[in-house]
Structure 1
Amino acid sequence: MKLDAKTLSYLVLPPMMWAGNTVVGRVLVDHVPPVLMNTLRWALVAAILAPWGWRVLRDQAALRQRLPYLALIGALGVGSYNALQYLALQTSSPINVTLIGASMPMWMMLVGALGFGQAFTARQALGALLCMSGVVLVMAQGRWEVLRQVHLVPGDLLMLLASLVWALYSWLLARPPSSMTRGPTWDWAGFLWLQVLFGLLWAVACSGVEASWRAEAVSWPQGPAAWWTTLGGLLFIALGPSIVAYRGWGLGVQAVGPTVAAFFGNLIPVFAALWSWLLLGQTPRWYHPCALLLIATGIAWSSRTTARPSGQA
């Protein structure tokens, strides 16, 4: 399989946006509880997409037929994954979270083999190891002693669960049920809007649980500047990491399959370093281009023999 420029753009944009989400999310989580932040994020997305997405509500018969699938992918991709990631960052370090996230290609291969009958090859396994090596190099900052300081905490288990949730979500996008392939064809805005609506039901319920468990009051920003920063951050994560990234991910998964697409997720720490350089003035180090080379090699190696899946995203 050959990756053309258009497919590469679909697969590179999501990790670029999600890396920005980690930088902005770490700023916002000091003022907004993580599950509530996830709910506010997707509520904004629902409002932005509504003018283009509402037309899918006209076909009530198709909605009823596709209801179980839409409810499932909405709960997984919108309602659960990002909330679990934000929760993980409360007790886990960014190093742990990113290292566990780097195992995504492995979980994609496992879920594909066990749940969807998609065998993986030795070439893909080697590509996954190369990608993980690049991520480990970034997280270790070129020094192995950094990794020796890593300790498992409850947040690590939450990130592991988030990775499994995303793997299942991605395979469901690539292999939709027959109800999604028969009948009316929805455009991307309507399809994503329905995912967001169903995911919001789950996100709002989880926010209620979070509020009942949270002992301290929410520390809302103080002053106009802090409010504008918070609103700007929420708008960014609603547009870039949500609409742009989810659209690109859906097209990329449809083109190359979940397993190959997952390798591109390992570009997140490299893009995070770039975001940190642009926004925080943190200069990239020697290991960043080395890690990028390892990840790019892993992607190229693993994608050479993977067949394109059928399905609608």
Structure 2
Amino acid sequence: MQNNTDKTDFSAYFILLLPPLFWSGNFVVGRAVADAHAPLGLSFSRWLLAFFLLLPFIIKPIWQQRHIIKAHFWGLVLLAFLSITCFNSIAYVALQYTTATNATLLNSFIPIFIFVISGVFFKEKINVKQVLGVLVSLLGVIAIITRLDIEVLQHLTVNKGDLWMLLAALVWALYSILLKYLRPKEMSAMAFLGTLIIIGTIILYPVTLWNPLNEPDITWNSEMLKAVFYIAIFPSIIAYLSWNYGLNKIGAAKGGQYIHLMPFFGAILAIAFLGETIQLFHLAGGCCIAMGLWLSLSKAR
């Protein structure tokens, strides 16, 4: 029995590598089409396409588990509101006003929010290694963002985009924590994700029509279509399934540390698609992040 548990835990640790990788790609793609998209419109298009792509796989399990959905309806509404409706919409709004550097740094506050909220409000046990791991990983994030140049850190400024991104990070931290308490354990992964997408997109639809930010219409072209398909499949479907599975197995406090991999993966993607070269700050930051993850995920002695 112990061996089976170890195998399950190991698979969760591996699968949790996928969300930060695909979410990093989401930032890269989002920035690439920034001039052609509206934040709320992009978020709605993303989830609407994800729904249609998943429809053949979710319609049967959702129908079969409708009694579970009914019994846990309001908890599912809250999870859908935080994850599907709010997080990406707020993040896309933030990227209209702040730089990718600032957004990535603020996104790395998610594990810190998870630690604080989990420890203070949910009494989740946090050991010294986990706290040290957060700090070491955060140093790695700062090393990558600042390129080991202290002047870059000194010139980081706070604007309304930064505040939006900080709010997005808080929203995702709340979702990650509540996932453990509100997700019905007897509900399948496909039925759960499908239900969240349906509820979250329904909530997002009238907000998009209302257009409180006075967004222009999305400029649809081949590049925008490719971008929406990418973010609908990888950051939306695959990343969410992986995140939900991993946190359900190892908890939000441990799993949340994987968010610190986003700046590292972002640098790798920039090297692969933008022709940048590996530099010292990539290696230094990657080593710190890896050490921080090891500390956070290792058992307390």
* TM-score (normalizing by structure 1): 0.88
Distance 2:197 2:121 in 1: 24
Distance 1:59 1:258 in 2: 25
- The 1:59–1:95 alpha-carbon spacing in structure 2 relative to 1, beyond 3 Å, is closer
> Match of 1:268?
262
> Match of 2:294?
300
CA deviation digits over 1:127-146, x for unaligned, max 9? 10001000000110110101
Superposition map of 1:214-229 within 5 A:
214=214, 217-218=216-217, 220-221=219-220, 227-229=221-223
Task: Give 3-state SS (helix, strand or coil) of 1:175's partner.
Answer: helix
Displacement, 1:273?
A: 1.1
Instruction: Give the CA RMSD over aligned residues.
Output: 2.0
One-letter amino acid of the counterpart of residue 214, structure 1 = N
One-letter amino acid of the counterpart of residue 131, structure 1 = S
Displacement, 1:212?
A: 4.7
> Match of 1:202?
203
CA deviation digits over 1:175-209, x for unaligned, max 9? 236xx24xxx3321111010001110222233223
CA contact (8 A) 2:76 2:182 kept: no
Larger mean Cα displacement after TM superposition, 4-13 or 42-51: 4-13
Task: Give 3-state SS (helix, strand or coil) of 1:259's partner.
Answer: helix
> Match of 1:309?
none
Distance 1:205 1:148 in 2: 41
Distance 2:236 2:254 in 1: 21
Superposition map of 1:112-151 within 5 A:
112-151=118-157
One-letter amino acid of the counterpart of residue 204, structure 1 = Y
> Would you say how many aligned residue pairs link Structure 1 and Structure 2?
295
Which of residues 23, 30, 50 in structure 1 aligns to 2:28? Answer: 23
CA deviation digits over 1:227-256, x for unaligned, max 9? 222111111111111111111111111222
- The 1:49–1:144 alpha-carbon spacing in structure 2 relative to 1, beyond 3 Å, is same
One-letter amino acid of the counterpart of residue 197, structure 1 = I
Q: Which runs of 5+ in 2 are unaligned?
A: none
Superposition map of 1:1-313 within 5 A:
5-55=10-60, 56-176=62-182, 180-181=184-185, 185-209=186-210, 211-214=211-214, 217-218=216-217, 220-221=219-220, 227-305=221-299
> Match of 1:224?
none
Distance 1:42 1:59 in 2: 22
Distance 1:111 1:5 in 2: 26
CA contact (8 A) 1:127 1:302 kept: yes
Displacement, 1:5?
A: 4.7
One-letter amino acid of the counterpart of residue 39, structure 1 = F
- The 1:174–1:63 alpha-carbon spacing in structure 2 relative to 1, beyond 3 Å, is closer
Displacement, 1:6?
A: 2.1
Task: Give 3-state SS (helix, strand or coil) of 1:90's partner.
Answer: coil
Task: Give 3-state SS (helix, strand or coil) of 1:150's partner.
Answer: coil
Distance 1:58 1:137 in 2: 49
